[in-house]
Structure 1
Amino acid sequence: MEKFTFKRKLPIWKIILGSIAIGVGIVSIFSSFKGFISIGVGIFLLLIEGSEFDFKHQKYREVKSILGFNFGTWKPIPEIEYVSVFKTNETTTLRQLSAEANVTNEIIKLNLFYNTNQKIEAFNTYNIDKAFEKAKEIASILNVDILDATERETKWL
C-alpha cells in the first residue's frame, strides 16, 4: 500500500440537495446573482473531508474533496510513535422548523500520534474489524505499535 485515502461518506440527502442546488445555480446564474449563492450552497453540501497518505514519498495531507477533485497541501509525515484505534461517539443534530433532535452513533477512529500528544486523523469507520485491518496495514508500513483503546483497559498490540 503506497497510497491511502480516507474520505467521509456523504449522506444521500446531501448528494441530492447539493446536486439540485448546483443545477439551479447554474441555470439561474444567467438571470441573477442568486445563482452564485445556490452554487455555493451546493458546493458546501457536497464537500467531503478526509486524509490522504503517500507512504512512498513520506507525505500526507488533509483533503477537502468536491466532485472528485481533492484539495490540500502536502506535508512531510512526522516521526509517528504509534497508531491508536479508539471508540467515540459522533453526534449529528437534525433540525426542522420547530423541532431538533440529536442522533448519536458509536464510531471507531484511527489516529497516528507523534510528538507525544499530537495526532493525524487517518480513518473513521463504524466497523471495528475494518479499523484494525487498516491500523495493521499502516503500522506495518511505519514500523510502529498499535494502541487498542476501544475498551476501558487500553492495550498494546
Structure 2
Amino acid sequence: MDKFIFKRKLPVWKLILGCTALAIGIISLLSSFKGFILMGMGVFFLLVEGSEFDFKNNRYREIKSILGISFGKWKPIPNIEYVSVFRTNETTTLRQLSAEANVTNQIIKLNLFYNTNQKIEAYNTYDVDDAFRKAKEIASILNIDILDATERESKWL
C-alpha cells in the first residue's frame, strides 16, 4: 500500500441535492446572476473532507473533495511515534424552523501521533474491526506500535 485515502461518505440526499443545485445554478447563469448562489449551495452540499497519505513519497495532506476531485496542500509526514485507535462520540445537530435536535453516534477514530502530543487525524469509521485493519496497515508501513484506546484501559498491541 503506497497510498491511503480517507474521505467521509457523502449521504445520498446530499449528493442528489448538491448535484441538482449545481446543475440548476449552471443553467441559471445564462439568465441571471442568481445562478452563482445555487452553484455555491451545490458545492457546499457536495464538499467532502478527508486525508490522503502518500507513503512512497513520505507526504500527506488534508483534503477537500468535490465530485472526486481532491484539493489540499502536501506536507511531509513527521516522525510518527504510534497509531491510536479510540472511541468517541460524534454529535450532529438537526435544525428545523421550530425545533432542534442533537443526534449522537459512537465513532472510532484513528490518529497518528508525533512530537509526544500532536496528531494527524487519519481515519473515522463506525466499525472497530475496520479501524484496526487500517491501523495495522499503517503501523506495518511506518514500523510503529498501535495503542488500543477503545476500552477504559488502554493497551499497546
Bucket of the pairwise TM-score, normalised by the shorter protein = over 0.9
1:111 maps onto 2:95 in alignment: no
In structure 2, what is the Cα distance between the partners aligned to 1:143 and 1:38?
A: 48
- Identity level (%): 78
Structure 2 counterpart of 1:57: 57
Unaligned runs of 5+ in 1: none
Structure 1 counterpart of 2:5: 5
1:24 maps onto 2:32 in alignment: no
TM-score scaled to structure 1, two decimals?
Answer: 0.98
In structure 2, what is the Cα distance between the partners aligned to 1:14 and 1:97?
A: 19
Counterpart of 2:154, as a letter, is: T
Counterpart of 1:146, as a letter, is: I
Structure 2 counterpart of 1:102: 102
SS of structure 1 residue aligned to 2:93: strand
SS of structure 2 residue aligned to 1:57: coil
SS of structure 2 residue aligned to 1:50: strand
Deviations 1:117-147 (A, max 9, x none): 1100100000000000000010010010000
Deviates more, 1:16-25 or 1:75-84: 16-25
Unaligned runs of 5+ in 2: none
Runs of 4+ with >2 A deviation: none
Deviations 1:4-54 (A, max 9, x none): 100000111111111111011011111111100110110011000000001
SS of structure 1 residue aligned to 2:135: helix
The offset of 1:84, in angstroms, is 0.2
1:92 maps onto 2:92 in alignment: yes
SS of structure 1 residue aligned to 2:152: coil
The offset of 1:95, in angstroms, is 1.1
Structure 2 counterpart of 1:136: 136
The offset of 1:96, in angstroms, is 1.2
